[in-house]
Amino acid sequence: MSAGRFYASELRLVLLRRRNLLLLAVTAVFPLIIGIALRLAAPHPEGGNGNGVAFFNQLAGNGVFLTFIALSTLLVLVLPVVVAVVAGDSVAGEAGYGTLRYLLAVPAGRTRLLAVKYGVIVTYALCATFIVSAVALAAGAVLFPVGPVTLLSGSTISLASGLLRLLFVTLYVAAAMAALGAIGLAISTLTEHAIGAIAALMILVVTSEVVDNVPQLAAAGPYLPTHWWLSFDALLRVPVDTSTLLRGLLSFAVYALLFGSFAWARFTSADVTS
């Protein structure tokens, strides 16, 4: 319907914008570099040194694990930056160009505009996450042996089940990024300067990560926006650690709802002065 047309138009605009395309390209390059680097440093199957990289020992035996290595590495900074750029720009960018007043005069409808903007952010986050998984999977298959997947808990599942788990892991990470996108959208409604919103969101991410690593502040950990991002390893065990997984998803949902509501309350009540 017409909301579909608006969404498609905005999505095309975001996806085809050179800056955003470049960010996706960068996201795609990282798993390649990580894969090649690890291949060069790969331990022999009979005696590996972990070097502190998560899933590193599993990688030598199975290329599928490159996806988990890539996701956990990129989750620290690269994926949040990519999402922050699009989310921070979403409303602030329009305000900065002055196009926001014309969109509202069209009328796009304030709630509808915000919903479309968030839909585009989520789609973009989904694209970025799946690009990481897809490129890492392809690179892993080329650089390392591929076969039945030995999980972190020691049991082995078929390659097909392993790939299904990879799909769930990717969706979990995408959910984390979608929640981050909601925070970015909220910040974006507060300013006319996209770069300010992007920076604010990144500062938030880094602060959360730092606080999460201070043992004395462990009590705050579970409530931090970044705390559950890497908990996707719960999917790589038999049985699946569902309680961790659900707590993570709950955290994402709460953050998305909280900041989504804030963005809506702010955007539907504020004067557009840009």
Partner 1 sequence: MTAISTSGLTKRFRGGQLAVDHIDLAVPHGSVYGFLGPNGSGKTTTIRMLLGLAYPTSGRATLLDVPMPDGATKVLHRVGSLVEGPAFYPFLTGADNLARYDAADRTADRATARARIDEALDRVGLLAAAKKRYRHYSLGMKQRLAIAAGLLRPRELIILDEPTNGLDPQGTREVRALIRQIAADGTTVFVSSHLLAEVEQICTHVGVMRTGKLVFQGSLPELRRTGASRVTVQTADPEAAAKVLTGLGLADATSAEAEASAVLGDASPEQVCAELVQAGIGVRGFAVASPSLEDLFVGLTGEGFDVSG
The least distance separating partner 1 from the CB of residue 264, rounded to whole angstroms, comes to 15
The least distance separating partner 1 from the CB of residue 17, rounded to whole angstroms, comes to 7
Report how far apart, in Å, the C-alpha atoms of 99 and of each of 108, 122, 195 are.
Answer: 12, 22, 17
Q: Which helix (H) or strand (E) holds 6?
A: helix 2-16
**Alpha carbon distance 160, 162 (integer Å):** 5
Q: Is 156 helix (H, G, I), strand (E, B) or coil?
A: strand
The least distance separating partner 1 from the CB of residue 16, rounded to whole angstroms, comes to 10
**Alpha carbon distance 269, 237 (integer Å):** 47
Residue 175 burial (10 A CB sphere; 0-12, 13-18, 19+):
buried
Between 112 and 247, CB nearer to partner 1? 112
Output the CA torsion sign for 127, 129, 130, 134: positive
Between 99 and 207, CB nearer to partner 1? 99
Closest alpha carbon to 187 in 228, 225, 131, 230: 225
**Alpha carbon distance 121, 185 (integer Å):** 8
Between 106 and 220, CB nearer to partner 1? 106
The least distance separating partner 1 from the CB of residue 200, rounded to whole angstroms, comes to 22
The least distance separating partner 1 from the CB of residue 64, rounded to whole angstroms, comes to 39
User: Which stretches of the chain bind partner 1, using CB under 8 A?
Assistant: 2-3, 5-6, 8-10, 13, 17-18, 97-99, 101-109, 112-113, 269, 271-273
Between 96 and 162, CB nearer to partner 1? 96
The letter for the amino acid at 11 is L
Between 3 and 167, CB nearer to partner 1? 3
Between 243 and 269, CB nearer to partner 1? 269
